[in-house]
């Protein structure tokens, strides 16, 4: 896992309480650490029955706290462990959070290091409950969860599914990947784009030929999803309009699923009103069959000719609509090119009246469609073209959002350079 800017250098107190799902939190501790966070694990006695402190020590490279009376590690503001850890933390995450620990948080009981820390903490608190279906459904736990929510405690789950007991229902710990998304969402709230709204499009469109066939392209949606995640990490409110993909929705994004270019146009036009930025990363089909056959077409020995009609250009429609309103203030397009990259990108930037275009050469095997990496050139309205090296789609998303930040602050592209 590569560093994640919203996590880099952030101090996270990770409280592990007594549930079998504690083993999954070892994966999360590893991911957080690899992403650049400083993770201080605090375990209750029951938590230590499921996973050894050594596991977390090995994964985080830091001391693991198990005792209210232990001395703290290096780099804390005071030598008193519970005060030092609490005051240094950017986030307190309790995962798994048992019914017992939730009840302690509600009443302010401070009978172990974790519950004492939770009382002293000044940072946001995120809990990921995990418990038996009946314990979660119990009015006592439900009432405790409601109280904590009113106090601003963030909840991740619990999820529905099979429990270790064999029962089905609500009470499972959310999976580590999703939990990581919640951590990013909470930490990102005060980012550069806090209070801003973004619409991001992703994935391919599908233009139906008949009930079982369509015209499409190999877009995976990864670049668009990475942009949505990066905008969330900076605190933006994000609507993600996506064609068919297999990707999980970034935590906190409002997802709108569409199929055709026309669907996408309608979804974008209704989502884009008053937003600050539109990032059009979708690979929108340029043509659709003029007529969709009502029945599955039969195969014959003869050649088949199909009539195609151009689809509406979404970016141009938005650019036209923004004339009087001025919104979105930043309009960003993508240009997937197989020849004359810069020339074509500049032509599109002007024709579609964009603020920035992200151009990539799709003939390179390690860039563009359906791979995890991209090699792009950012072309702006001042005529500058910044060629970025081969990087992950997440890193490309960060570079694009740095530019958007600059545009929204009213700086010119030259200020950025």
Site residues (CB under 6 A) for ligand C5P?
Answer: 261, 280, 282, 284, 286, 311-315, 333-335, 348
State the catalytic residue, choosing from 217, 340, 360, 384.
217
Instruction: Convert 68-94 to b/e letters by CB count within 10 Å (16 or more is b).
Output: beeebeeebeeeebbbbbbbbbbbbbb
Q: In what order do the strands lie in the sheet with 11-16?
A: 64-65, 38-43, 11-16, 91-97, 125-129, 154-155
Say whether the peptide bond before residue 328 is cis (omega within 30 degrees of 0).
yes
Tokens of 358: 């992200």
Closer to ligand C5P by Cβ: residue 109 or 342: 342
CB of 417 to ligand C5P, least distance (A): 23
DSSP assignments along 323-379, one per residue: HHH--SSEEEEEEEESS-HHHHHHHHHHHTT-SEEEEEETTSTTSSTTSSEE-EEEE
Rounded CA-CA distance 35/151 in Å is 29
Closer to ligand C5P by Cβ: residue 37 or 345: 345
DSSP 5: T
Closer to ligand C5P by Cβ: residue 42 or 279: 279
Our answer to whether residue 138 is catalytic in this structure is: no
CB of 353 to ligand C5P, least distance (A): 12
Closer to ligand C5P by Cβ: residue 102 or 281: 281
CB of 272 to ligand C5P, least distance (A): 12
CB of 280 to ligand C5P, least distance (A): 4
Say whether the peptide bond before residue 148 is cis (omega within 30 degrees of 0).
no
Q: Outline where 272-339 has alpha helix (H).
A: 314-325
Among 15, 4, 47, 248, residue whose Cα is nearest residue 128:
15
Q: Outline where 234-357 has alpha helix (H).
A: 261-271, 314-325, 341-351
Closer to ligand C5P by Cβ: residue 172 or 352: 352
CB of 317 to ligand C5P, least distance (A): 8
Closer to ligand C5P by Cβ: residue 182 or 352: 352
CB of 265 to ligand C5P, least distance (A): 7
Kindly tell me the sign of the dihedral angle through the C-alpha atoms of 253, 258, 264, 269.
Answer: negative
Residues labelled as active-site residues: 217
């Amino acid at each position: 896992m590569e560093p994640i800017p919203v996590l880099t250098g952030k101090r996270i107190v990770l409280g592990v309480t007594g549930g079998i799902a504690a083993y999954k939190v070892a994966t999360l501790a590893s991911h957080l650490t690899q992403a650049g966070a400083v993770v201080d694990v605090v375990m209750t006695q029951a938590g230590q029955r499921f996973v050894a402190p050594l596991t977390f020590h090995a994964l985080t490279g830091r001391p693991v706290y198990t005792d209210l009376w232990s001395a703290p590690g290096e780099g804390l503001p005071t030598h008193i462990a519970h005060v030092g850890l609490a005051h240094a933390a950017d986030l307190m995450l309790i995962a798994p959070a048992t019914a017992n620990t939730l009840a302690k948080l509600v009443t302010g009981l401070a009978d172990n290091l974790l519950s004492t820390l939770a009382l002293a903490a000044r940072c946001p608190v995120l809990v990921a409950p995990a418990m038996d279906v009946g314990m979660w459904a119990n009015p006592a736990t439900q009432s405790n969860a409601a109280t904590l929510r009113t106090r601003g405690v963030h909840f991740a789950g619990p999820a529905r599914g099979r429990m270790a007991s064999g029962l089905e229902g609500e009470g499972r710990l959310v999976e580590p990947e999703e939990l990581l998304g919640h951590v990013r969402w909470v930490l990102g709230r005060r980012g550069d784009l806090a209070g801003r709204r973004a619409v991001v499009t992703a994935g391919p469109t599908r233009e139906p030929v008949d009930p079982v066939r369509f015209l499409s392209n190999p877009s995976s949606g990864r670049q668009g999803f990475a942009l949505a995640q990066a905008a969330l990490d900076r605190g933006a409110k994000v609507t993600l309009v996506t064609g068919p993909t297999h990707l999980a929705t970034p935590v906190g994004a409002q997802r709108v699923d569409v199929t055709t270019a026309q669907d996408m146009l309608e979804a974008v036009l209704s989502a884009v009103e008053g937003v600050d930025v539109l990032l059009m990363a979708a690979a929108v089909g340029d043509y659709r069959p003029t007529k969709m056959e009502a029945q599955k077409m039969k195969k014959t020995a003869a050649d088949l000719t199909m009539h195609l009609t151009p689809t509406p250009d979404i970016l141009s429609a938005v650019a036209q609509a923004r004339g009087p309103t001025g919104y979105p203030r930043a309009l960003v397009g993508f240009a997937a090119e197989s020849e004359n990259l810069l020339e074509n990108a500049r032509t599109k930037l002007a024709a579609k009246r964009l603020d920035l275009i992200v151009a990539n050469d799709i003939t390179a095997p390690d860039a563009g469609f359906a791979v995890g990496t991209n090699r792009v050139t950012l072309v702006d309205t001042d005529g500058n073209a910044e060629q970025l090296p081969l990087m992950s789609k997440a890193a490309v998303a960060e570079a694009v959002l740095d530019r958007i930040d600059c545009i929204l602050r009213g700086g010119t592209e030259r200020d950025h350079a």
